[in-house]
Structure 1
Amino acid sequence: MFFSFEQEGDQGVNVLKQHLQSTIFTLLERGASQHKIHELTGVDRKTIRRYQAIYESQQAVGANSPTTAPTGVAEPAGARIPPPQAPPSPRPPAPARAAPVKPFDFARSASEPHREWIEQQVRLQRNAQAIYQDLVDQFGFTASYDSVKRFVRALRHVDPEQFDRLAFIVGEESQVDYGEGAPTLDPKTGRYRKPRLFVMTLRYSRRSFRRVVWKSSKQVWAQLHEEAFRYFGGSTQYVVLDNLREGVITPDLYEPEINRLYAAMLEHYGVVADPARVRDPNRKGTVEHAIKHTQDTALKGRRFESIEAQNEFLMHWEENWAARRIHGSARRQVQAMFQEEKPHLQALPLTGFRYFKEVVRTVNDDTTVSIDRSNYAARPAPIGSLVCVRVYDTTLEIRDRRTQELLRTHPRHTEPGSLELPESERPFNPSRQTSLALASAGDIGPRAKALCQHLFDAEGRVGHRGMWGIVALAKKYPTWLVEQACDHALRHHLYRYRQVRAVVERLFEQALERLDRAPQLALPLTQEHALIRPAAEYGALFNAGAQHSAGTHPSTTGETE
């Protein structure tokens, strides 16, 4: 049901039509609730509340008036309480002791007598249905459930979530996180896509470093930190990060496991990682706000043709706009606070961090570990144990897997088959494998056995690999070629398997070339030779065969011999 409204005079006040006003006053006189009047008339409850206030005020005036109508006289509701067609122009001043009227005071709920008990139940987090059931059982409540539900909804309010405002000293903390950059043309696909936006923000001054990258990894994550430290001219004492895989291997409230490459980089710069709790991004709200500010202000609606162009724009925007803004809560310029904080940042080391690749290896029975087809001594790590190997550009480190204690450092070999094992650590005890390898080499030839014996005498059990490699060459190439290659290796002091294999391959290619260059001799045809019988003997053999065939098969005439 819809009702029309008429605008009264020049006062700009919307009032109901006369019949609706009379209906509302009549229902109020009979004690109907606002909810019941709304169901019957369709008038908004705020409008009903306004007319209820008018009704109550006029009732109070009529009760104090000496000209009150007699009780037995019945008057129409509209005549008894004429609705004001226009409010009085000058509003009388409110009484000095009059309290402000709350909207809820106009609506007298049936649950009002039980307010105190209902408030206790609401504080216990009980729902309206349970409160209604107890009202009926314990207090004989006769009103409807909807009345209780509305009353509980008015009482229940949700307190806003409270956050502590943290304060930090200069140079104490920085916060880092990833976001999404602006759409950028990908050179590989030719399409626009959003790169990853790295942001590091100094907690005290709110100065930020921003960089976009296509892909992230453990090393990229650490390198971005280094670039940020160099950009600021120093490092903070702590860095707060999210629990992403590039920084935290295992999130934990008490003992999070930090990625070793990332932890080593931070240790190089004297920084301590402080991961935020899981699903608690407000701990690093400064960098969260910096990312949103970058996306909404600097990058919103922009496209870039290259990743370099976007990084150049971000640097320009930081220097010319973000750093010169007045921070909302601090009420100071970001650049001015950064100039105050910069002398308190930790000094950068003279050299940058050396990045490495960490792998896990098992110590072989010759006390070495294999890295890129080369072997390196791993003592004092026991045989069969697992060790961590950090592979740098020119060196490698062997560390205990559990404590990360440094065990050995070796120069890194680039040629496969290299061995880094001191003479004093080489085991020279012969085994059954030694005897078997020497016996197999003896089957090839004496020079092959002599070469294998020399490998064992020089390297011990480590030389078993080279010995078996030489023996295996005889399975692919002729034995005389392998023997010839071993003789060449002994004469020229070539004691590595790969060198012997190269000699065998070269000799094999030379043999094939000689076969290709060998002339093909044309043999003359001859009629007389010791292996060639006379033609008469071949004729007699053919006749004997024909007679034998004629004697064993019936003739075509049907006669038999």
Structure 2
Amino acid sequence: MTKQLLWEQYKEEAGDDAYSNSQFSYYLHKWESQQKTVMVLGSKPGERLEVDYAGDKLKYIDKESGEIKQCDVLVCVLPYSDLIYCEAQEDQSQMNFVEGIGRSLHYIGNVPKLIISDNLKSGIKTPDKYEPKLTELCEQMSLYYETHMTATRVRKPRDKASVERSVTLVYQRIFAVIENRPLSSLRELNLLISKELEYLNHRKMDRNGMSRWEEYLELEQPCMLPLKVSKLMEVKRSRVGKVNKNYHIQLTEDKHYYSVPKEYVSEEVKIIYTLREVEIYKGNKRIAVHLRDRRKYQYTTKAEHMPVHHKEMQKIRGYTSEDLIRQAKEIGEHTQRVVKDILQSRQYIEQSFMSVVGVIRLQHKYSKERVEKACSLISPEMKANYMLVKTMLENHMDKRQPEGEAEDYKTITHTNIRYITNFKNNI
């Protein structure tokens, strides 16, 4: 239906007494305006807390990966005093949503009779005009804090006008101040938000010369319910999975891997996790606990979970050439010289680490004295490596050298050394 068609139908019915098209449009517009009257919904002190996520996001640069992390911002407000609480979160998950509301109640220090949320998937399972169904976590939160929670009507922004105004204020007073700051963690971001939030809530308002905190403490807090719990409600979730052959199991929500003791490889275990911690159970026994890490496809590994040979490999990867030279010096100056030669024999020093570690560990089987003596027989012109030193010790060549002739080098037969006779047929 268009205005033109409506006027034509009206003119046909009214005949000669009908309004002109322009007059009809004027009276139609006037009638429409009268139908759009708005009711003022007053707020009673301590009656409700309105919560919603800001449409825009804040960000920080992860100091480990260099990745830009986008953060959602939860905003909560008491409409009577306009006292605001807000925080940045990794995402709008149910865990973050519920714990964020919990932190707002602990910030306020009291509990409202009602918590009103927008129809977010984080909090509302089934939207409905009369009886919206909450998620299980939100129902648990309502019981824990002894309050009630409901949702606004779908597509009715006036139902949450206070939090909408507060989101705008957060943009102006908090986003504008910190959005271009070089931040490197969510914690750092929230510390800065907290600082600006305190300034906002203690700033005098034009309407009555009081700050939000002053109006809350004087007029609203006495009407609110007491906060009976001293601890934040910590949300726990669980998953069941199978330990991979590399003794790690993936928390699918983050796509991150956590280690368990190697004896649980291929076993089915249960993961219980919060926003901060990951626990892994076999039956009723807790076999591992880690700090939660949200880096995708990365590994969190504890040394005590690793097989012995994996521990050794990790230790070697942590060595520097200076570490190895220092260990070789403890055996003797000839061993130190040989180790330096091996380290310098490769284009990249790290490629020779295993060979050097092998030479140093020969002392455990043959003694420091024998390793040092064997190294003294290797001339600077020879290509030093682990197999050469090992062969000399296995064949007791270090014992054949008379005292005082360590510098009188003799030719050593070794599988890695080729002599002129090896090439006779090619000359």
TM-score normalized with structure 1 length: 0.39
- Higher RCO (C-alpha 8 Å, min separation 6): 2
The structure that has the greater radius of gyration is 1
Bigger strand fraction:
2
